């Protein structure tokens, strides 16, 4: 259950990070409000997950999910570059997240 909470927390991390792009420096009220709500949900779910998971592992997985999802959506939504090297390094983050899950008894 904790790994599921952590995964959903990571999805909300992606949501608030992307929301920052739409909020234009927190100057647009609706995207800013959505960003804040997603941030709070993400943090609450992370806090619940670390009740049963090692905090270092949980934090690394949470940020990994957020980094990968935000980078991919940034390419799609904000026309950020999708170079082969960038995609390769994103792939390395995915390998790290999966590896942490496997060695932490999350499988």
pLDDT digits (tens, 9 = 90+) for 61-78: 999 999 999 999 999 999
Q: Which residues of 14-47 are buried (b: 16+ CB within 10 A; e: fewer)?
A: bbbbbbbeebeeeeeeebbebbeebbebbeebbe
Show the tokens assigned to 60.
Answer: 């690394």
Show the tokens assigned to 20.
Answer: 């920052």
pTM (2 d.p.): 0.90
Q: What are the helix (H) ranges across 1-107?
A: 2-23, 29-49, 55-77, 84-103
pLDDT digits (tens, 9 = 90+) for 86-105: 999 999 999 999 998 888 86
């Amino acid at each position: 259950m904790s790994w599921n909470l952590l995964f959903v927390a990571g999805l909300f991390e992606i949501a608030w990070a992307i929301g920052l792009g739409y909020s234009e420096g927190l100057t647009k009220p609706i995207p800013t409000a959505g960003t804040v709500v997603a941030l709070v949900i993400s943090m609450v779910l992370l806090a619940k997950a670390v009740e049963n998971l090692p905090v270092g592992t949980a934090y690394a997985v949470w940020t990994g999910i957020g980094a990968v999802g935000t980078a991919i959506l940034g390419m799609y939504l904000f026309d950020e570059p999708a170079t082969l090297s960038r995609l390769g390094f994103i792939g390395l983050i995915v390998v790290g997240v999966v590896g942490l899950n496997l060695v932490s008894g999350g499988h």
